[in-house]
Every structure is written in C-alpha cells, then in structure tokens.
Structure 1
Amino acid sequence: MLESSGSSVTGSSVRKRNLVKRQKKNEGVDMINMLPEPLISRILSFLPTKDAVRTCVSSKKWLFRWTFITKLDLDDTVFYSPKRKNGGKMFFMNFVYRALLLTQSKILESVSLTVVNKYDVSLLNTWVSNILIRDVRSLRIDTSFEMPLTSFASHSLFNSKFLEELVLNMKSCAIRVYDSDFVHFGLLRILKLSGILFTVDPSYRTMNLSLPVLKVFETTNCTWLNAKCVTLNVPLLESVIIVQNAKSMSYDTPKCSMCFFASNLIEFSYCGDGYISHYFKLLQSLLTHNASLNVTVSQCPINRDPETEFRAFVLLQEFSQVKYLKFEGCEVSILSKNVHHPLLGTPHHKLNMH
C-alpha cells in the first residue's frame, strides 16, 4: 500500500517536471506569429480598423500586417474628443488617408464610412472615389449633412463591377446619372438608398437599372428628377420597401413611374405621408400570387389629392393577384368608369385605409 502511494507521488512529480520543461521551452514563443499570414489578416479584419492599425506598434513583424485587412471601418465618431482641436477631425482625416493609401488587399470585403462631423465636400468625394475604384464587395456610407457626388464619384459608382451590397444612408446626396439609358450592377444583391436625389439626363427621361441578382430593394426619401420612368429589371427580387415623406417629394416635376420586371416578388411595402409618390407598375404581376402588399398613407391633406387616389388604384391593379393586402391610413375614393378591378368591386368604390 505504501509502495503504491510512493509510486503515485513519484509519477505526479515527473508530470509536473515535464510540464515545467514544456513551459520553459515555449517561453517567449508568440503562438499567433506561428499562424499563416492570410489567417492573421483574416483575424485582424474582424477587429475595428482603428484597433487593427494599433497592432503595428507590437513589433517590427506587425508593422505592416494590418495593411492586408479586407474590411475597413472608417467612423469619425470613434475619433471624437472635446479635448482635441476641432474635436479630432484632423486625426480622422489622417486615419482615412492612411487606411486608403496603405491597405494592400486586392479585394475589400466591406467598407463602411460614417461621417457625422462636417468636412469639405471635395474631400469626402475623394474618399468615396478611392473606395469605389477598389474591388469592394460591400459598401455602406452614412452622412448627416448634404453631400453631392462629383461626376467622377458618380462615374465610379455606376462602373463598380464587384459590389454585392450597397447602402447609402445620406441626409441629402445628389447623384447625376449621365448614361441613364442603362445602368448595370451584375453582382448586387442588396440595395438600400436613403436621401438620394438622382438627376437623370433630360435627353433620356428614363432610367433603366439592370440588377439580375438583386433580392432586396429599399429606398427612403429618394427622388428621380427629370425621369418619366424608372425601370428595374430584377428577376430575382424578393423584397421592395419604399418610404417617402411629404418634404422629400417634388410635385412640380413630371409624373414618374417605377416599373419592376420581377417574377419572384414576395413583399412590396410602401409608406408615405399623405401621398403616393409614384405610379408603381409590376410588369409580371401574374407571377406574384404568393406576394404581399402593404401600403400606409398617413397624414392625409385636407383636400383630397386625385393624383394619389389614381396612383392607389394603379397600385391595386398591378397587384391584383397578391395573396395578402393591407392598407392603412387615409380614406380615398377611386373613380373609374372603364376599369373594373377584382379588389375594388364596382367601378366607383370607396377604399378605407385604416
């Protein structure tokens, strides 16, 4: 019994000595440095860009490792400090220039640019242009002030061949479409636009968007100036969400139609303040029997707007085969002597939206 106990103690001591030897042997060895460089770059890409850049002070080996990250998060709120001159704007400007100049990855998985403080518009356009000429897969831009895109930035946007997701959340951004006869985004799956004023060339009066793999289309307070018709060729489109408030609408511009070539639509949602902003047409409406239509028109004007009432009728006519229909908000009267609609019943029908 005692021999067995002594043998157990001896075995435990040997294990401890071996463990200490292994620890000493691995002492000073940085395990992360043993990882393949692509994996290190991948790990750094998941860090906030500011933190990824900070790793350059670790050692000489880490001096330029951050330059191979594939995701850029450029947010000026991270650099804000009341103790710094101009709240830290200069620090952010230098950071953006350094990030755009030194990153070496051929393909950028995503770039996010968030700008709360006001900067020179030409400076912001330079940043946006430099981002767009890269092979960017996902791009998100958030601004809280007016920022028109220059002709070069607009050209770079419409000629980007690698975008899969585009989110422009702007307070007000004017984008001029020079070749509005045909705009093609071959890989774009998600498109979300807010506060965008597209100016279409008056000689065209139409804007044709070819988005063969798009699945999500969302707009908030967007305008298509000079356009009589905006056509979207979106065979895989599943979801349309359009939000429009009264302040963003211009009733002096020509009436604009939005036409969707969409055979896989699942959801169409519109929300407006007292008005329906466009004539919406679904050019493959017979294929939408499983789709849902949700329309909210709030804060109706005192005097009824016949244009809105007719647009409501056109909207119902285009979505006559939908599985689910919901109207909320105002009460409108739809008058038609020649058109009969299965959802409206008689040609003269009052539609309560609540």
Structure 2
Amino acid sequence: MEEESYGSSERGSTSSEESAPYSTDSSSHATNPMNSEEEEEEEESSSSDDCPSKRRKHGPIVEEEDRISTLPDSILLTILSSLCTIDAVRTGVLSKRWAYLWNFVPSLRLADYYFRHAADRANFVDNVLLLHRASKLTNFSVEVEYNPKLKPRVDLWVRFATTAKVDQLNLLLSSCFYKLPQHLYANEFVSELNFRACEIKPNGLVRWSSLKRLCLWNLALHQDVLNEVLLGSPRLEFLELRSCN
C-alpha cells in the first residue's frame, strides 16, 4: 500500500510538471506582444541614457548654428556683391552682425524697377551713397528711367563712382538722353564702360588709359567723336555698338 501511494504521488507531480507550461501566467506572458515591445523601448531608453550623443525620439529640437554669419567679412561682402543693392540693404535687419555690413560692399547695382515713383528711387540711391563706406568700387551700375530733372543727381552719382576709382561703370538709362559730365572723359582708372541713352560730347581729349571694354547702346554717335574715343583708349580690346545712329 505504501508503494502504491508513493507511485501515485510521483505520477501527480509528473502531471503537474507537464501542465506547467500551460499555466495562466506563462500563457499570458507568451501571447501578449506588448510586453516584448515595452521591453525593447526600455532597452532603447536605457541605451540612450548610457550614450548621450544619441538623439532621443522625443528630445528637444536644437537650433542649427548660423555658419554663414561666422564667415570672414571679405567672403560675406563677396556674397552681398552678387545681390542687387536693395536686397543687400535688406540683410541689415538679420542681426547686429549684418546691420552695417552692406555699407562696405564694393559693388553697387541700383535699379528702379523696385520703386513705383521716380522720386522714391532717386532718394534711395542718394541714401545708399550717403551711407556707403567702401573706399574702392569694383562695379557701379545705375539702371533708371531718366528725365532731365534728374541730371544734377545723376551727375553726383557719377562723381561718387569716379571718386571711388570704379573699375566698371554702367549707366543704363531710358526715355531721355543724359549728357555725360566732362570730368568722366579724363578717368584713368575705369576699365569697362557701358552707356545706354547717353550723349557723348567731350570738350577736350578723351583719356581712358585703362579702358578695355566699351559698350554703347541706343545713342547718337558722330564719327569724329568715335575717333576721339578710340584715340583716347589705347588699351581698348572690345567695342560694342548697339542701335547707334
């Protein structure tokens, strides 16, 4: 009898062990996929704590560094020189770093298609030249709808450019002819001239000793005047005439 009871208890323990894998706790753990995902997220969270360089999924957004503003002034001025002057002036509102940077741009490109009235565009040009601080100009370009009332102001603009020893001077006017000031004919620094709707009548000799490129558009040009220009430009390499009478 004792042996039978021992055998029965042994069989009972065996059956309980066989049914253990199908217990309620083990079954719920094995059939719930959320537990494995939570464990993975906990592992990722712990790994991110161990490695601070890794960005967390819901971490704060860090603003990128302004690398352009850290560039040297010479590079920034080169960038601003590629813009129209009114756009270069607008960069002054970006930060203190840019507030007065445009004042030293070596290239000024002044066009009137940004303004509705002639007085507005003329005032803008005057203000730009008043605040400009570059001692040397590589390019000075004015493209406006000209009328005789603007002649005194355009004369001042040309004087400003020649005083800054400009390399390239562009006077691209329209509507009326602008008579070039006499001091411009004795410029020894300019290497390129582009005139549109301008009147060329020198009273004396033309002395453009550094001039290499000359473009004349939409103007009346007498043969004698053209000869004086060619004689006074010994280094001239390129001559372009468009719609010249």
Q: TM-score, normalising length from structure 1?
A: 0.48
Please say if residues 137 and 161 of structure 2, whose CA atoms lie closer than 8 Å, have aligned partners that are also in contact: no
Cα distance in structure 2, aligned partners of 1:211 and 1:19? 67
Q: Are the structure 2 counterparts of residues 215 and 46 from structure 1 closer, same or farther at C-alpha, using a change threshold of 3 Å?
A: same
Q: What SS does the corresponding residue of 2:158 show, helix, strand or coil?
A: helix
Residue type of the alignment partner of 1:218: E
Does residue 168 (structure 1) correspond to residue 168 (structure 2)? The answer is no
Please say if residues 100 and 131 of structure 1, whose CA atoms lie closer than 8 Å, have aligned partners that are also in contact: no
- The residue aligned with 2:19 is none
Residue type of the alignment partner of 1:193: L
Deviation at 1:176, TM superposition (A): 2.7
Q: What SS does the corresponding residue of 1:177 show, helix, strand or coil?
A: coil
Cα distance in structure 2, aligned partners of 1:19 and 1:94? 55
Please say if residues 187 and 207 of structure 2, whose CA atoms lie closer than 8 Å, have aligned partners that are also in contact: no
- The residue aligned with 1:68 is 104
- The residue aligned with 2:129 is 100
- The residue aligned with 1:269 is none
Deviation at 1:162, TM superposition (A): 2.0
Q: What SS does the corresponding residue of 2:194 show, helix, strand or coil?
A: strand
Cα distance in structure 2, aligned partners of 1:122 and 1:137? 23
Cα distance in structure 2, aligned partners of 1:49 and 1:27? 30
Cα distance in structure 2, aligned partners of 1:72 and 1:189? 21
* Structure 1 unmatched runs, 5+: 81-87, 223-247, 249-354
- Matches for 1:118-133 after TM superposition, within 5 Å: 118=147, 119-133=149-163
Please say if residues 190 and 217 of structure 1, whose CA atoms lie closer than 8 Å, have aligned partners that are also in contact: yes
Q: Say which structure, 1 or 2, has more relative contact order (CA 8 Å, 6+ apart).
A: 2
Deviation at 1:194, TM superposition (A): 2.4
Does residue 17 (structure 1) correspond to residue 17 (structure 2)? The answer is no
Does residue 138 (structure 1) correspond to residue 160 (structure 2)? The answer is no
Does residue 192 (structure 1) correspond to residue 221 (structure 2)? The answer is no
Correspondent of 2:74 among 29, 34, 38: 38
Please say if residues 140 and 166 of structure 2, whose CA atoms lie closer than 8 Å, have aligned partners that are also in contact: yes
Please say if residues 192 and 211 of structure 2, whose CA atoms lie closer than 8 Å, have aligned partners that are also in contact: yes
Cα distance in structure 2, aligned partners of 1:33 and 1:106? 23
Q: Are the structure 2 counterparts of residues 44 and 16 from structure 1 closer, same or farther at C-alpha, using a change threshold of 3 Å?
A: farther
- The residue aligned with 2:240 is 218
Q: Which has the higher helix share?
A: 2
Please say if residues 211 and 236 of structure 2, whose CA atoms lie closer than 8 Å, have aligned partners that are also in contact: yes
Q: Are the structure 2 counterparts of residues 115 and 10 from structure 1 closer, same or farther at C-alpha, using a change threshold of 3 Å?
A: same
Please say if residues 125 and 149 of structure 1, whose CA atoms lie closer than 8 Å, have aligned partners that are also in contact: no
Please say if residues 169 and 195 of structure 1, whose CA atoms lie closer than 8 Å, have aligned partners that are also in contact: yes
Whichever of the two has the greater Rg, that structure is: 2
Cα distance in structure 2, aligned partners of 1:19 and 1:68? 43
Correspondent of 1:50 among 60, 73, 86: 86
Structure 1 residues 116-148: Cα deviation after superposition (integer angstroms, max 9, x where no partner): 253432222222222222221111111113334
Correspondent of 1:115 among 144, 157, 177: 144
Residue type of the alignment partner of 1:61: R
Please say if residues 186 and 210 of structure 1, whose CA atoms lie closer than 8 Å, have aligned partners that are also in contact: yes
RMSD: 3.5
- The residue aligned with 2:204 is 179
Q: Are the structure 2 counterparts of residues 15 and 31 from structure 1 closer, same or farther at C-alpha, using a change threshold of 3 Å?
A: farther
Please say if residues 140 and 168 of structure 2, whose CA atoms lie closer than 8 Å, have aligned partners that are also in contact: yes
Q: TM-score, normalising length from structure 2?
A: 0.67
- The residue aligned with 2:231 is 209
* Structure 2 unmatched runs, 5+: 1-39
Deviation at 1:15, TM superposition (A): 9.9
